[in-house]
């Protein structure tokens, strides 16, 4: 208790020396003590705060699977299952200039999974047409581009692909977020 009294006296005299009026100088050490106590409580809360796993947080950095070369696959956002129709067109396939119908399996803010009958190459650059769930927007679909990073053959005429988006601009990001929110509930 003697140490606290010494600290209180020192802080009060210091406050007076820097120009705080004597009638309010006694509050300075009390306020500093409360501030330090609040910071300590916030620190303790952060130690015991459970991490949330939802579609708009980056809490799930690694999805636990390994990439094809044995490295851990990195993920910035959780996937949300959607199971909706979309269309895909490949920039690299000259024999497929028209978009092909595909089934969007899951989506995140950084990529999506889809399945289709068309054979696509790994690292192929593709453009997606996805449904727009923004009721204020007049466009029924929006477009987003990416690169194929994962291929899984389901049977000899059906494939599942994983893509990573290139540049997700603000509009596309908000439309993806709307899609994720719609299917998260």
106 lies in the same domain as 171: yes
8 lies in the same domain as 97: no
Quote the pLDDT of residue 158. Answer: 86
In terms of residue numbers, what domain contains 99? 62-184
Quote the pLDDT of residue 50. Answer: 58
Model confidence band, residue 5 (pLDDT cutoffs 50, 70, 90):
confident
Our count of domains for the chain comes to 2
Q: Is residue 146 part of a domain?
A: yes
Cα distance between residue 139 and residue 120, in whole Å: 28
pLDDT at position 123 over 70: yes
Quote the pLDDT of residue 67. Answer: 44
* Cα–Cα separations (whole angstroms), residue 178 to 6, 61, 142, 171, 185: 58, 22, 12, 11, 12
Chain centroid to CA 178: how far? 13
Specify the CATH number for the domain of residue 115.
2.40.10.220
Model confidence band, residue 83 (pLDDT cutoffs 50, 70, 90):
confident
pLDDT digits 0-9 by tens, 10-57 = 888 888 888 888 888 888 888 888 889 999 998 888 887 655 444 333
- Percentage of residues in the chain with pLDDT exceeding 70? 80
Q: What is the CB-side half-sphere exposure of residue 39 using CA atoms within 13 A? A: 6
Q: Is residue 90 part of a domain?
A: yes
Residue 112, phi then psi, degrees to nearest 5: -155, 165
36 lies in the same domain as 82: no
Do 131 and 87 contact (CB within 8 A), yes or no? Answer: no
Model confidence band, residue 135 (pLDDT cutoffs 50, 70, 90):
confident
- 142-170 average pLDDT score: 88
Residue 123, phi then psi, degrees to nearest 5: 70, 5
Q: Is residue 159 part of a domain?
A: yes
Quote the pLDDT of residue 72. Answer: 42
32 lies in the same domain as 72: no
- 176-180 average pLDDT score: 88
Model confidence band, residue 163 (pLDDT cutoffs 50, 70, 90):
very high
Q: Is residue 81 part of a domain?
A: yes
């Amino acid at each position: 208790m003697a140490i606290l009294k010494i600290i209180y006296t020192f802080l009060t005299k210091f406050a007076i020396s820097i120009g705080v009026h004597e009638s309010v100088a006694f509050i300075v050490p009390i306020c500093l003590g409360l501030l330090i106590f609040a910071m300590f409580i916030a620190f303790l809360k952060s130690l015991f705060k459970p991490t949330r796993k939802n579609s708009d947080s980056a809490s799930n950095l690694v999805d636990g699977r390994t990439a094809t070369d044995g490295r851990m696959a990195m993920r910035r956002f959780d996937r949300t299952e959607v199971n909706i129709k979309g269309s895909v067109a490949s920039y690299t396939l000259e024999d497929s200039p028209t978009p092909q119908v595909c089934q969007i399996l899951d989506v995140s803010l950084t990529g999506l999974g889809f399945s289709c009958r068309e054979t696509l190459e790994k690292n192929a650059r593709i453009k997606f047409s996805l449904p727009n769930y923004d009721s204020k927007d007049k466009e029924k679909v929006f477009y987003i581009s990416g690169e194929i990073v994962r291929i899984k053959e389901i049977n000899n005429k059906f494939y599942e692909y994983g893509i990573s988006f290139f540049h997700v601009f603000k509009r596309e990001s908000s439309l993806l977020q709307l899609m994720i929110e719609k299917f998260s509930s």
